[in-house]
Amino acid sequence: MSRVRTSRGRLALAVTAALAVTLGTVAAVPAVAAPGAAAGAAQTGKAVQETPALLPGAIVVGNGPSGFLSRWYEDTTPSSAFRWTRYADGVTTTLPAGTYAGGAGSDVIVRSEGTRHELLDMATGADPVVVDLASLGDSAKFVRLAGSTLVVEVPRAGGTAVLLVDSVDGTVRTREVQGLPENASVRRYDLGAPGTLTLVYAATTDGATSVRAAVVDVAGGTVAEDRVLPKASVSSDVSVSATHLAWAEYHGMKHDAEAVLALSGRSGTDVTRVPLGKGNDLRVELMGDWVAYGVAGASISGPNPLHSLSVRSLTDGRTVDLLDTVDGIRAEKDGALLVQGATLEHGEGLYRIAPGPDGTPAATLVASTGRSLALRLTGGTVPDFDFTTKSGDSGFTWQFERAGLVEGRVEVTHKATGKRWSSSSSTTEPSGRLWVPWSGLLDNRTAAHNGEYTWRMTAWPVNGIGPSVERIGTFQVSGKQAPHDFSDSSSPDLLLREGGALFVYDARQTLFSGTEVPLERTDVGSGWGAYDQIVTPGNLGGARFADVAARDTTGALWLHLGTGDAAAPFAQRVKVGGGWQIYDRITAGSDLNGDARPDLVAVDKDGGLWLYKGTGNSAAPFEPRVKIGHGWGIYDKIVATGNIGGAAAGDLVGRDKDGVLWLYLGKGDGTFAPRTKIGGSWDSYSAIVAVGDADRDGLPDLVVNGPEVGPGSGGLQLHKGTGDWKAPFESPVNIATPDEFTRLGSTLY
C-alpha cells in the first residue's frame, strides 16, 4: 500500500537475498519455473545479517524499544522456539531452552520454570532478577508481564484475585489489585498505555451478569477506572489510552456475527458504535487520536475487507487502510503500534504504525519474514501419465512459498480431440504444496486417450488478497495398448451391434459411472449385419492398435485393422480367409503359445478345437491351423480370456449346455491343462465378453449381459478377475445398464 515504507534501504535487498536462498532449494520443471532472484542478491549477505528478520511462522510475544521477542511455532525443538531480535543491527539471538513471555513497550522479558521466574533486561544485559512464586501456593498462575511486574491470578471462591508481583531492591513485593469485586472472573488481560493493565472480567450483581473492563494502575496497584462494556463478550479485545476506551463487540450469531467497533471517552459513558462488517476476531488498539483495528485470520479464512489493518480518526472519523492483513497489534512505549501483518507490496513482517508528517498514521516495515503476501510459485512437477493400471495414477504438484489457504484448479486438453478434464478445486497442504490428483478420466468420465495434452493451472488465495497465479504447459499420456481398446486410451472398450450398426463404448464410463453422465459412443458405421460372428483378438495385424475379425454368412473371414483414431477406430476391411463356415464358434485374444501374439481358436461342427497361431502380419495373420482338442461340441460358448489363471499363457473358458463354466489353463505351447469347474448358472448370460482389465488392477475381467435369460431383459454385470485359477472371478457386480444394451437385437462384444 502507498502508506508503507521500509525502515532502511537494505531491507529490500535482504528480503530478496533470503528469498533467493529459499528458491535455490526447490527443483522446478521448465514449465513451472520459479521466479528468478534479483541481480546482485548474492552480494547482500551482510545486509541480511544486519536487517531485522522474523522467521516465517513465528509470532511476536513481546516488544520493547530495542527489539522484540518471537516464538517460532513451526519449530518443534524447545531450545530454539524463542528468539530475541534487536532493531539496531538486526541480530537475532536464540534463547536458552525454556518458556518465555514478554510485555508491550518494554525490553524486559521473563523466563519461567515452575514457580521460578527470571526477569531479563534484553536492552542492558543486566543480571537476571529472580522472582519465585512458590509462597503463593500451587493455584497461583503467572498470566502477563507488565513492564517488570508479574501479573498473577489466584482463584478464590466465586472469582479471581489478581496479584502484582515485582522485585524492589532485591525484595519480592506482592500486591493484590484493589477495587475488583469479590466475584470478578477475569478472562482477558490487555496491555496498552504505559503503566496500565486492562482486565476484562465478568461479574454478577443482583442476579445480572455483565462484562466489565477495569483499568489498573500498575504502579499503584489499584483500579483507576471500572466500567461496563455493553454488548461486549469476555473475549473482546479492549484498548485503553489516556483519553479513550475502545473495544470489540459482536452482534448476531457467533459464526456469522457483525463486528462493531465501540468507542467511549474515559471521562464519559456515551458509546459510539461503528459497524464494520462480518468478523469474529477483531483486534483493537488505540494510538493517540486514532484507533487501529482489523480482523485476524486472513491466512485461514475467506475474503473479508476487515482483514486489512485500518486506522480511524477519533476526531473526524476518517479511515485509512495501512496493511492488507493483520495478525496482532501491540502497543509501543512511545504511543506507536507494532503490528504483525503483511502488504502485497512489502510482504509479511512487523510494521510500525505511527503518525506521519501530516499527522496521518503510516506503516513502516521494521522486520521482514522474507515471504510475499502475494502467491509465489517456487516449483512444480507435471509428470507424464500411464493409466494402464491404478499404480500409474498420479497428479500435478506445485509448491508455493507460503502455507495458508490457497486453492487451485487444473484443466487439461487432449490436443488431437479437444476433450478436456477440469479438476475440482484443491487446497494447499500446510507445507504450501498444491497437489491435484488425476485418475485418467475426462470430464464425461471416459478414459483419457493417449497422446499430447496441454495443461493450465490456476491458483488463487482463498482470502481474495492479491492476484491469482497461472501456468501452462504440455505432457504426455502414453499407456500400454489394451487388447480390447479401440480408442487408444489404454483402457478397454465395449462393442455393441444394433442391427447393422456397430458402436464403441468406453468401458470405464459404461461400467463405473452409473447413470451420472450420458454415455458417449462412437458410431463405427453400418453394414456390420453381414457378419454372423465378430471376435476381438487384440493386436492381430502387428500394428499398435486392437483389431476386429469377423466372419460373414458365406464363411469369409475379414480383418478390420485398428487405427487408434477414437472417432474412426477401424480401417476398411481386408479379407484374410474363406471356408470358415465350418466353425460353430470362434474366439480370439489369448496368447496360447507364448510368442506375445494373440491367437485364434475355433470349434468345428464335430466338436474339434483348432488353433490358429497369430503371425503379426495383417496380410496373412494366421499360421496353418492345428487341431488341439476334441469334444468341444459340449460348449455353446467359448471365450479367450487372456491370462486369468496366473499360469504361463492365455486361457480359455467354455460354458456347457447346463450353464457350467469350465477353465482351460494354457500351458504356453498351444495346449491346455485338464479343465477345472469354476462356476455354475452361467446359462443366464446371453453374452460373455473378455473385456480385459476393466478395473485397472492388472487382472483381466469378464463383462456379461444378464443375469436374466433372453435379449431385452438382461443388464450388464462385471466379474472382476482374481488371478487365482481355482476361483478366477469374483461374484458379479451389477452395472447401471443403459437401454441400448438391453434392447432386442443388440449384441455385446
List Cα–Cα distances, 29 to 16, 37, 380, 386, 520, in angstroms. 22, 17, 6, 19, 35
Decide if 157 contacts 147 (C-beta within 8 A): no
Mean pLDDT of all residues in the chain? 88
pLDDT score of 736: 76
Question: pTM of the prediction?
Answer: 0.81
Q: Closest by alpha carbon to 682, among 714, 658, 651, 717?
A: 658
Q: Please check the confidence at residue 25 and state whether its pLDDT lies above 80.
A: no
pLDDT score of 474: 98
Give the pLDDT mean for 222-235.
89
pLDDT score of 737: 78
Give the pLDDT mean for 436-461.
96
pLDDT score of 364: 95
pLDDT tens, residue by residue, 236-259 = 999 999 999 999 999 887 667 899
Q: Please check the confidence at residue 82 and state whether its pLDDT lies above 70.
A: yes
pLDDT tens, residue by residue, 361-401 = 999 999 999 999 999 999 999 999 999 999 888 999 999 98
Q: For residues 74, 75, 80 and 86, what is the CA-based torsion angle, rounded to 10 degrees?
A: -20
Decide if 416 contacts 456 (C-beta within 8 A): no
pLDDT tens, residue by residue, 580-634 = 999 999 999 999 999 999 999 999 999 999 999 999 999 999 999 999 999 999 9
pLDDT score of 20: 28
**Distance from C-alpha of 289 to C-alpha of 165, rounded to nearest angstrom:** 32
Give the SS3 label for residue 731.
Answer: coil
Please state whether the peptide bond connecting residue 707 to the residue before it is cis, i.e. omega within 30 degrees of 0. yes
Q: Which three cell numbers stand for residue 495?
A: 462393442
pLDDT score of 348: 93
Q: What is residue 635's DSSP assignment?
A: E
In what side-by-side order are the strands of the sheet with 433-438? 377-381, 394-400, 433-438
* Main-chain phi, psi angles of 681, to 5 degrees: 65, 25
Q: Which three cell numbers stand for residue 552?
A: 460373414
Q: Which three cell numbers stand for residue 175?
A: 500486591
Q: Please check the confidence at residue 15 and state whether its pLDDT lies above 50.
A: no
pLDDT score of 282: 94
Indicate the pLDDT class of residue 138, thresholds 50, 70 and 90. Answer: very high
Q: For residues 72, 73, 76 and 81, what is the CA-based torsion angle, rounded to 10 degrees?
A: 30
Decide if 363 contacts 351 (C-beta within 8 A): yes
Looking at the chain, how many residues does it have?
A: 749
Give the pLDDT mean for 641-649.
86
User: Which residue do the cell numbers 437385437 mark?
Assistant: 745
pLDDT score of 342: 95
* Main-chain phi, psi angles of 569, to 5 degrees: -75, -15
Query: Percentage of the chain with pLDDT > 70?
Result: 90
Q: Closest by alpha carbon to 105, among 20, 22, 194?
A: 194
Q: Please check the confidence at residue 488 and state whether its pLDDT lies above 70.
A: yes
163-172 contacts, C-beta under 8 A, 24 or more apart: 163/136, 164/218, 164/221, 165/131, 165/133, 165/136, 166/131, 167/119, 167/129, 167/130, 167/131, 172/131, 172/132
Q: Closest by alpha carbon to 12, among 322, 328, 372?
A: 372
pLDDT tens, residue by residue, 143-196 = 999 999 999 999 988 889 999 999 998 899 999 999 999 899 999 999 876 788
Indicate the pLDDT class of residue 402, thresholds 50, 70 and 90. Answer: confident
Q: For residues 88, 92, 98 and 99, what is the CA-based torsion angle, rounded to 10 degrees?
A: 60
pLDDT score of 257: 83
Indicate the pLDDT class of residue 24, thresholds 50, 70 and 90. Answer: very low
pLDDT score of 705: 86
pLDDT score of 542: 83
Q: Is 148 exposed, middle or buried (0-12, 13-18, 19+ CB in 10 A)?
A: middle
- Nearest 5°: the CA angle 577, 579, 494 is 65
Q: Which residues pair with 704 in a beta bridge?
A: 688, 717
Q: What is residue 424's DSSP assignment?
A: P
Indicate the pLDDT class of residue 4, thresholds 50, 70 and 90. Answer: low
Q: Please check the confidence at residue 7 and state whether its pLDDT lies above 50.
A: no
| Of 228-237, 436-445, 502-511, the least confident | 228-237
